[in-house]
Amino acid sequence: MSKDEIRKKIEDLRFKINYHNYRYYVLDDPIISDSEYDEMMKNLKRLEDENPEFFDENSPTVKVGGVALNKFEKIEHKIPMLSLDDGFDDNDIFEFDRKIKRFLKMSESDDISYFVEPKFDGLSVCLIYQDGSLFVASTRGDGYVGENVTNNVRTIKNVPLKLVIDNPPKYLDVQGEILLTKDEFKRINEERIKNNQPVFANPRNAAAGSLRQLDPKETAKRHLIMFAYYLRDIQGYKKTIRYQHESVEELKNMGFAVSELNKLCRNVDEAIKHKKYLEEIRDDMPFELDGVVLKVDSFELQDRLGFTTKSPRWAIAFKFPAQQATTKILDIEVNVGRTGILTPVAILEPVNIGGVVVSRASLHTMDEIEKKDIMIGDTVFVQRAGDVIPEVVKPVKDLRDGTQRRFEMPNLCPVCGSHIAKDGAYYRCTNINCPKVLKESVKHFVSRKAMNIDGFGSKIIEQLVDKGIVKDVSDIYTLNKDILMKLDRVGEKLAENLESAIQRSKGITFAKFIYALGIRHVGEFVAKLLSERFKNLENLRKASREELLSIDGVGEEIADSVVSFFNEKKNLDTIDKLLEYGIYFVDDKSYGKTDSKIKNKSFLFTGTLSKPREFYKELVEKQGGIVRNSVSKKLDYLVVGDNPGSKLDKAKEFNINIIDEKELLALLEG
Ligand code: IVH
């Protein structure tokens, strides 16, 4: 190849790779395979290495990181990077809307269209493109002078180094936000814990730390992304852009990633509705959402509104309640869980995080306390999101004053006083009969996704275990109204409901039953895998490690745990008792279908029946009915056989429905 041909080949490859980057990172719609892409990249890299005279700082090969710097050069922004006014409730937004209308001398009843965008919690950068090539990228700094981070920004996969349109503008100034996904943030922190480095408090800090690496190769390893949201200046372009929504569309065409959550709203009410929607989906988003930004959509109106010294009059940032706060660790307690594992829990000075008062937060394991270097008395960052248990992110070491002390795992179980043994990264109570382990097992056993015994709260479980009435989960099926009514705060109605809920729970799917057993590492999903593979208890009990490992989704940890569970005599006895007490398996379709007429109805038998009473008892209980052994005013049916006893007279006295075997069968058949 002649030099000219080589140059053409290099340019062609760069153009194609840029385009495929855009398809992949911006449009999320690639049209070539990863290996084809890698092949092109490899060819380009080779040609560039062999022909250094064709070096281009915006070649897609710089995405892996260029030369390291000693320090970042300062850059003065041509147009200052201002901030936004904040609002915290709907009134602030209505007030913003009214103020704009006053300023523009419009009537209160006129509608102003707003472009509503998510407010990303990252760090903002300004990117300048000349003739379609990235020229310089700078951080916001103090708004007037920022730092030159061009080489680092070049490594960000979804930042276009060349705009992907024909006839790009001569000059383009774009602002966007650089951020990390929640997953990537977690990955980076886990890696830092492993390497004994301090963890980042939040994705924003992690993004800032990642961008401000002097060696761009380090930045390239953190998977930063950028969303563009503000076209600050454009010169020498074929089109005139008149609206914010249009500018964002245009930025997307040029090659920038823009948020899918942006929405053009016709008036302030619609804007508030979209804000509410974004707040609802906040926890499900891959990135941290900080709030929303409302921008007057029309550029003509934006120009008329102009700026104050610190912010535009045409925009407002509405902040969502924070999900993080700092507070003090008053103490660290250990919590004994269902499998006997001790989890350290931080007792916090109560703090309001996004409207919820948090006073406890998980510290996970001893290892994590050590690696994060958390002490009792530390001021710490606490994070909560949605329904997830709050967790301690990191300590603020600068606030230590010498009163802080290290936490040590106790040697004895705080519940039963038995010895604690180390088990991998965990500490565990060695007493298989530890009351706390039993209480937690019962809680799990009765929970909704397990046996689903409604109304069985922790207070009841604690009493049953403490009084020695429930010694393993099978004892639940020996409970009846009379026993339950002896407990504190259990009245007749509750006791009755509980009894029928217990009876109803006997018909269960095999998968739910496996889950209910509380085998370590066997969650809902694995329980389903096991039920599908082994079909019944016999097979599951006998399952070998190899058979278990052959299931897609079952690894060594799970296999070992299942085998050791079924090797334990105590567990086998419990299962036998459960079957004896009448647990039976139903398929998915018939599970929970107890819309029978006799659900929650009580029955009593008297006299000689044609079949053993046990036979009817089982039928009644399968349909959610209850079998009693004495007459009371509340009894629903007395079933009479030959030679009935005194129960019949009593039932007549109380005006109770008296039926025979045939009538009972008719009831059962619905
Ligand atoms: S527009 C004139 N739009 O919020 C300022 N900013 O408080 C124009 N931010 O520094 C900024 N998401 O870091 C704008 N969709 C969005 C944003 C956004 C996040 C950040 C940005 C800015 C700060 C202003």
Distance (Å) from CA 292 to ligand 1 centroid: 9
Burial 330-368 (b: 16+ CB within 10 A, else e): eebbbebbbbbbbbbbbebeebebeeeebeebbbbbbeb
Sites in the chain below the pLDDT cut of 50: none
DSSP string, 580-615: HTT-EE--TTTTT----TTTT-EEEEESB-SS-HHH
Q: Whole-model pTM?
A: 0.66
Distance (Å) from CA 18 to ligand 1 centroid: 27
For 302-319, write each residue's pLDDT tens digit: 999 999 988 999 999 998
Which of the residues are catalytic?
A: 119
In 3D, which of 280, 268, 371 has the Cα closest to residue 320? Answer: 280
Distance (Å) from CA 84 to ligand 1 centroid: 7
Burial 129-161 (b: 16+ CB within 10 A, else e): beebebbbbbbbbeeeebbbbbbbbbbbbbbbb
Q: Ligand 1: which of 84, 292, 296 to mutate, most ligand atoms within 8 Å of CB?
A: 84
Residues 6+ apart with CB under 8 A from 424: none
Output the pLDDT for position 670: 67
Question: Could you say which DSSP state residue 638 is in?
Answer: E
Using a 6 Å CB cutoff, which residues line ligand 1?
Answer: 82-84, 117, 119-120, 124, 140, 177, 229-230, 293, 312, 317
Cα(89)–Cα(93) distance, integer angstroms:
7
Residues 6+ apart with CB under 8 A from 64: 155, 217, 220
Distance (Å) from CA 237 to ligand 1 centroid: 25
Cα(159)–Cα(226) distance, integer angstroms:
7
Residue 123 CA: nearest ligand 1 atom is: 13
Output the pLDDT for position 601: 86
Output the pLDDT for position 70: 72
Output the pLDDT for position 283: 84
Q: Which residue has the tokens 């994705």?
A: 203
Q: Ligand 1: which of 85, 124, 262 to mutate, most ligand atoms within 8 Å of CB?
A: 124
CB count in 10 Å sphere of residue 247 = 23
